[in-house]
Copies of this chain bind each other. A is one copy, B any other.
Amino acid sequence: MIPTSEKTAPDMSVFETLESEVRSYCRSFPTVFEKAQGYKLWDTQGREYIDFFAGAGALNYGHNHPAMKKKLVDYLMGSNIIHSLDMATKAKEAFLKRFNDIILKPRQMEYKVMFPGPTGANTVESALKLARKVTGRETVISFTHAFHGMTLGALSITGNSFKRHGAGVPLNHAVSMPYENYLGDDIDSLTLLERYLEDKGSGVALPAAIILETVQGEGGINVASPEWLKQVEKICRRWDILLIVDDVQAGCGRTGPFFSFEKAGIKPDIVCLSKSIGGYGLPMALTLIKPEFDEWAPGEHNGTFRGHNLAFVAATESLSFWETDALTRETLRKGEKTKQSLQQIADQHPDLDPVVRGRGLMVGIAFNQTDFAGKVCKEAFSRGLIMETSGPEDEVAKLLPPLTIDDEGLDRGLAILEESIAVVKASLEQ
């Protein structure tokens, strides 16, 4: 790798001149990317980067997977339908069949599939609407540190105050309850929730739904235990509240199994999927709905890009990964390995009070110093590793490598991270 100092500064002028101030990751990773393959990226100056970011979880199968690429090229060459609103197409039919055969049926999951528009926010907004319609209630309970998206409905159940403030209007009809361990190990965070629901004087109305991520990605890699998830499900059943799992980031194998909640054995009423469901990084989202709650009127929720057939083609091909449990096993193995490595790094820096957490290949290391994680990511980038921070104070360095990364790539990335932490720490001690 070329040392930072010798690099030519990348030319970002087009972005700086023409693009809005809202641009963000191009500031953290200030170069122009051009090529990608598997877990690697190259910029226009030929520098190579290891990708521990994976499109914020949209590239679980890595960049430019050859089998999907072939299908996409063939599909394009064949004058097939590209854009179809929600009309029936052969590509959509194939996806539906295969998703049912490979994912739903083997798991004894009977869900109706909704195409709510191509983004995570679309599936979340559709889930909220449906839960409110089905129950006739307005309140939705979400959790501290939740992230569900940037449209107004999704923002209302998102914890981050900077993002919330961006709404410019009050965010209503949502109540934020403490996620597992939010109040430390000694306080069962669901005690409060149950008390609120039981008590007619709590000031909190019976909600339409409880929505949660089983692992909070943007929130700082907070992992809910199977027991806690079961308890939430029990609460939902007791009060006829719909349980929505937002599996946009944690789903599609990120934590090991296809759905992040499989280990807990819960049966959400609605499941939100996006990001890696498109397989190749193409915009796509699904809302899975228990048949008894599929009370939509035709067209009650719609959108122009519900029929993104290129995404269906890649998505269909990507399901081949799920014909066996190989990917799940490998993800769990690599996840464990990653956590062990991180723990070894953590043990070298007790003064930073580092905390390693995660499930599968959704892993993070939290630091007790403001800006430390951010500086580590910056240093890592200069050394050819792409990763970002998460958590309300950006206090967590987050690792989301492609699930398909090989051990060499993983080792190299972890080594860069280890160096970066040491370098940042040394610079602070000067």
Is B392 a contact partner of A201 (Cβ separation < 8 A)? yes
**A2 adjacent to chain B (CB < 8 Å):** no
Residues in B whose Cβ lies below 8 Å from that of A204? 176
CA distance A298 to B201 in the complex (A): 18
- Whether the Cβ atoms of B83 and A120 lie closer than 8 Å is no
Bound complex: CA A175 to CA B161 (Å): 15
B132 touching A168, Cβ below 8 Å = yes
Q: List 17 A-B contacts (CB under 8 A).
A: A18-B100, A20-B112, A21-B296, A22-B301, A34-B80, A35-B78, A36-B82, A63-B83, A73-B73, A83-B281, A117-B121, A119-B305, A120-B303, A153-B153, A159-B203, A170-B172, A248-B304
Contact A81:B35 (CB < 8 A) given known A167-B129, A294-B21, A300-B163: yes
Of B82, B163, B303, which one neighbours A119 at CB under 8 angstroms?
B303
Q: Is the interface of A mostly helix, strand, loop or mixed?
A: loop
Residue A412 CB within 8 A of the other chain: no
CB-defined contacts of A21 to chain B, threshold 8 Å: 112, 294-298
Interface flags for A286-311 (1: CB within 8 Å of B; 0: not) read 01010000111111111111001010
Given A150-B117, A152-B125: A298 touches B36 (CB 8 Å cut-off): no
Q: Is there a chain B Cβ closer than 8 Å to A384's Cβ?
A: no
Query: Of B23, B34, B100, B154, which one neighbours A86 at CB under 8 angstroms?
Result: B23
B residues in contact with A156, CB < 8 Å: 152
Q: Give the residues from 99 to 113 in chain A that come closer than 8 angstroms, CB to CB, to chain B.
A: 99-100, 112-113
Q: Which residues of B contact A174 (CB under 8 A)?
A: 203
Residues of chain B within 8 A (CB-CB) of A205 are 161, 164-165
The answer to whether B183 and A203 have CB atoms under 8 Å apart is no
Question: What are the 9 A-B residue pairs with the smallest beta carbon separation, nearest first?
Answer: A132-B168, A83-B281, A201-B392, A176-B203, A152-B153, A24-B299, A22-B296, A151-B151, A20-B114
Does A166 interact with chain B (Cβ within 8 Å)? yes
B34 touches A81 (CB 8 A): yes
Cα A400 to Cα B119 with chains together (Å):
26
Binary contact track A76-105/B, C-beta < 8 Å → 1, others 0? 111111111111111011001101100000
Q: Given the complex of chains A and B, what is the CA–CA distance between A237 and B149 in angstroms?
A: 33
Assuming the contacts A19-B113, A22-B298, A22-B299, asked whether A125 and B146 have C-beta atoms less than 8 A apart, the reply is no
Evaluate contact between B20 and A304: CB separation under 8 angstroms: no
Known: A59-B83, A192-B183, A281-B82. A32 touches B93 (CB 8 A): yes
A interface with B by C-beta (< 8 Å): 10, 12, 14-15, 18-27, 29-37, 41, 44, 53, 55-59, 63-64, 69, 72-73, 76-90, 92-93, 96-97, 99-100, 112-115, 117-122, 125-126, 128-129, 131-133, 138, 142-146, 149-154, 156-170, 172-176, 178, 182-183, 187, 191-192, 195-196, 199-205, 208, 219-220, 248, 274-275, 280-283, 287, 289, 294-305, 308, 310, 391-393
Q: Quick one: closest B residue to A308, CB to CB?
A: B283
Q: Which residues of B contact A132 (CB under 8 A)?
A: 167-169
Q: Chain B CB within 10 Å — which of A29, A118, A151, A152 has the most?
A: A151
Report yes or no: A36 in contact with B80, Cβ–Cβ below 8 A.
yes
Are B25 and A85 in contact, CB atoms less than 8 angstroms apart?
yes
Is the Cβ of B80 less than 8 Å from the Cβ of A35? yes
Given A37-B79, A69-B76, A88-B15; A304-B119 close (CB under 8 Å): yes
Q: How far is the CA of A150 from the CA of B297 in the complex (A)?
A: 14
Given contacts A36-B82, A79-B37, contact A283 B118 (CB under 8 A): yes
Could you tell me the distance between the alpha carbons of A19 and B19 in the complex, rounded to whole angstroms? 39
New A-B pairs, 20, CB < 8 Å, besides A21-B294, A73-B76, A152-B156: A14-B97, A15-B92, A22-B297, A33-B84, A33-B89, A34-B80, A44-B90, A55-B83, A55-B84, A55-B85, A72-B76, A76-B76, A82-B281, A132-B167, A153-B153, A161-B201, A161-B205, A170-B173, A187-B191, A201-B391
With the chains together, A88 CA to B166 CA distance in Å? 24
Bound Cα distance from A289 to B18, whole angstroms: 10
